[in-house]
Amino acid sequence: MDWTNKHILVTGGTGSFGKKFVEVMLNEYHPARLIIYSRDELKQHEMRTAGFNHPNLRYFIGDVRDLDRLRRAFNGVNLVVHAAALKQVPACEYNPMEAVKTNILGSSNVVDAAIDAGVEKVLALSTDKAVNPVNLYGATKLAAEKLMIQSNAYAGGLTTRFSCVRYGNVVGSRGSVVPLFLQQRETGEVTITDERMTRFWISLEQGVRFVIRCIEQMQGGEVFVPKIPSMKMIDLAKAIAPEATMRIIGIRPGEKLHEVLISEDEARSTVELADMYVVQPQAALWFGYDWSEKGSILPEGYHYASDNNTEWLTVADIQAMVNGIETHLEKGAG
């Protein structure tokens, strides 16, 4: 795929993912135009002053809730990466309709604007919390994911294609537990909700490069899931604050003991490749692409969860990851 003639827009482009995506794109892929679409002028200003001022970079103020603004922003755009979302679980629980308006209705607006503007590909970012959701954030992301995939039905006779990527917690991103543990380390006590808790983990750069690969390969209708390691939350705490006391505080409302990236029901339509899974749409393969030719069908009863993973991070592995982001966080990035 030749990226040099592509006009790319990233919703929520001033966030952790957006910044890293822009960095990798400008340094390695050199697109013709790269648009940051976000609603916070201060974050855009801070991004510019941090060095993101490439001549091919554009900054658009706008909210995904505003369909007219999206239509204007999508004019002449080839590829859209939809990363805008309200993702803080407590904030979504306390402001439920705001989460619905941004995560669900905002995604619907992205679909409509992309079809109207003739965008070639839209890849939306999802989360493991969208699988069997137990909180409102997960429920809105599930709805957004289904909406994005099923909207290929609207685009069947047009050029626009919609797919999703779904992965676990991003180490060091905004809202990650890593900054909290770093802060608690100074007090000598780190709080753990449950010592059995496990999570999928992926680095910001791994997430960005996975998204780029999926844009190149997507045909429309797929949910791409990377094979990523799990870690025990208590091991994360030990890696960050080995000298601190661990205090168990109990699972919070809307929190799972373990996360799932592929449910047992989804596994029946999922193809396993060497380094990822591709969840094919169950209702229809609109564009006739059969991923099973490139991989293998999963066995009956399979599900991909953070506690049944075959790959685990050790405390030493986690320390190496944390050391790589600690300086980054101290500088106020991401």
Q: Which residues 6+ apart lie within 8 Å of 21 measured at CB? A: 10, 13, 81, 83, 208, 211, 212
Q: Which of these, 154, 128, 153, 155, lies nearest to 142 by C-alpha position?
A: 128
Confidence (pLDDT) at 334: 41
Confidence (pLDDT) at 284: 62
Phi, psi of 28 (to 5 degrees): -120, -30
SS3 of 165, please?
Answer: strand
* Catalytic positions: 129
3-330 domain in CATH 3.40.50.300? no
Q: Which residues 6+ apart lie within 8 Å of 221 measured at CB? A: 149, 152, 161, 162, 163, 280, 281, 284, 285, 286, 287
Confidence (pLDDT) at 254: 83
Confidence (pLDDT) at 333: 45
The total of other beta-carbon atoms located within 10 Å of residue 252's CB is: 12
Q: What is the torsion angle, in degrees rounded to the nearest 10, for the CA atoms of residue 20, residue 21, residue 22 and residue 27? A: 90
Token pair for 119 = 């965008």
Token pair for 82 = 């939809």
The residue ranges of every structural domain in the chain are 3-330
Strands (E), the chain: 7-11, 33-38, 57-61, 79-82, 121-127, 161-167, 169-170, 189-192, 198-202, 223-226, 230-232, 245-248, 260-262, 270-272, 276-279, 296-297, 304-305
Q: What is the torsion angle, in degrees rounded to the nearest 10, for the CA atoms of residue 260, residue 265, residue 270 and residue 275? A: 20
Burial of 261 (0-12, 13-18, 19+ CB in 10 A): buried
Helices 315-330 and 233-240, axial angle in degrees (round to 10) = 60
SS3 of 142, please?
Answer: helix
Confidence (pLDDT) at 177: 84
Confidence (pLDDT) at 253: 82
Contact indicator for 204, 224 with CB cutoff of 8 Å: no
Contact indicator for 59, 48 with CB cutoff of 8 Å: yes
Confidence (pLDDT) at 330: 52
SS3 of 107, please?
Answer: helix
Q: For each of the chain's 334 residues, which pLDDT tens digit applies?
A: 999 999 999 999 999 999 999 999 999 999 999 999 999 999 999 999 999 999 999 999 999 999 999 999 999 999 999 999 999 888 999 999 999 999 999 999 999 999 999 999 999 999 999 999 999 999 999 999 999 999 999 987 889 999 999 999 888 676 678 888 888 999 999 999 999 999 999 999 999 999 999 999 999 999 999 999 999 999 999 999 999 999 999 998 888 999 999 999 999 999 999 999 999 987 665 655 678 888 999 999 999 999 999 999 999 999 888 876 665 555 544 4
Confidence (pLDDT) at 174: 67
Confidence (pLDDT) at 287: 59
DSSP annotation string for 212-278: HHHHHH--SS-EEEE---EEEHHHHHHHH-TTSEEEE--PPTT--SS-EEE-HHHHTTEEE-SSEEE
Question: Across the strands, what pairs with 163?
Answer: 123
Task: With 0.75 as the threshold, say if the pTM is over it.
Answer: yes
**CA-to-CA distance for 122 and 80, rounded, in angstroms?**
5
**CA-to-CA distance for 162 and 155, rounded, in angstroms?**
9
